[in-house]
Amino acid sequence: MKIRTIATLALALALGACASEEATDDAMADATPEASADAQAVTELAEYWATHYNMGHPGMVAGKYADEAWFLSSDGTLSEGSEAIETFLGSMAEMNPQVVITPGEVMVFGDQAVGVGMYEMTLSPEGAEPVSYGGSYMTHNVKVDGAWVVAGHIGNLTDDPFEGFEFSAPEGEAGENQGTMGELTGGWATHYNLGHASMVADYYTEDAMASLSRGGQVMGREAISTAISGVMEARPGTIDINDLQTWELGDGWALDVGWFASTEAGADAPFQSGGYLNLLKQADDGSWQIHWAVSNAWPTGDM
């Protein structure tokens, strides 16, 4: 059993990739009756998640994850493997947690699928007032022996957390670049560091969805440009992006995951680090653009 932070995400992703070995690389993304049934099955996974989590059944929730799945929680905890995921999900039992999950769109690519949505968590510790927080999530799902399970899961926070919210402490060494989207992530970081919000937004599809940490879901390239500009103005600085793992989904689609660190202008060390999961679409010229993005960040210094 291992509960780890983003510093060891590379290992977890390598293991998680094993769960999708049976997935077809040339799957078509076109909507079909079968694909629609599969999309519904992935949506039902989210509904099952909420039902049994609220009933205090972390083992049943974890049972819907691949044996070597990874789960990056909104507090920065990285749980590797279904056993560690069960432990993490049960760790807040004394807080009487209740979650409402609102599943969003699901895209199916043969025996792989990607789903997005939102959640709202309420904690009601005995003798204290309830507190709530929420955010977005994205899942990488695979079909194993005819049944859909979660191979990868990232969540974030929509707003700054309540007073007393505890982020997971960083551990170990950061993972190395092993993904295949270095040109995209490199260009994104270059233009961000130059203050070019609109050029950063050009790396997204016209109808993209981006859920930046503490920013909620933003729809469309123009709105994403505005959101990124706001982040730049609020805390000027630079970002370093490390592309860890890329899954080819077929038919010009891919899933990419990595980590980043943000440093305030004039500072020597990052004030935050985080992880991201991006669903990518290939353009006619062969370049890649971000279609869905969920990023999560936690403090590494003085926020």
Question: What is the C-alpha to C-alpha distance for residues 141 and 15, in angstroms, rounded to an integer?
Answer: 14
The answer on pLDDT for 270 being more than 50 is: yes
The chain-wide mean pLDDT, for the chain, equals 88
Residue ranges, comma separated, of all CATH 3.10.450.50 domains in the chain are: 2-155, 182-299
2-155 belongs to CATH 3.10.450.50: yes
Question: What is the C-alpha to C-alpha distance for residues 27 and 203, in angstroms, rounded to an integer?
Answer: 24
Question: What is the C-alpha to C-alpha distance for residues 211 and 217, in angstroms, rounded to an integer?
Answer: 4
182-299 belongs to CATH 3.10.450.50: yes
**25-34: pLDDT as tens digits:** 444 344 445 5
**152-183: pLDDT as tens digits:** 999 999 998 888 888 886 565 666 778 999 99
The answer on pLDDT for 15 being more than 60 is: no
The answer on pLDDT for 107 being more than 50 is: yes
3-class state of residue 148 by DSSP: strand
Of 16, 244, 24, nearest in space to 112 by CA: 24
Question: What is the C-alpha to C-alpha distance for residues 303 and 301, in angstroms, rounded to an integer?
Answer: 6
Q: pTM for this structure?
A: 0.88
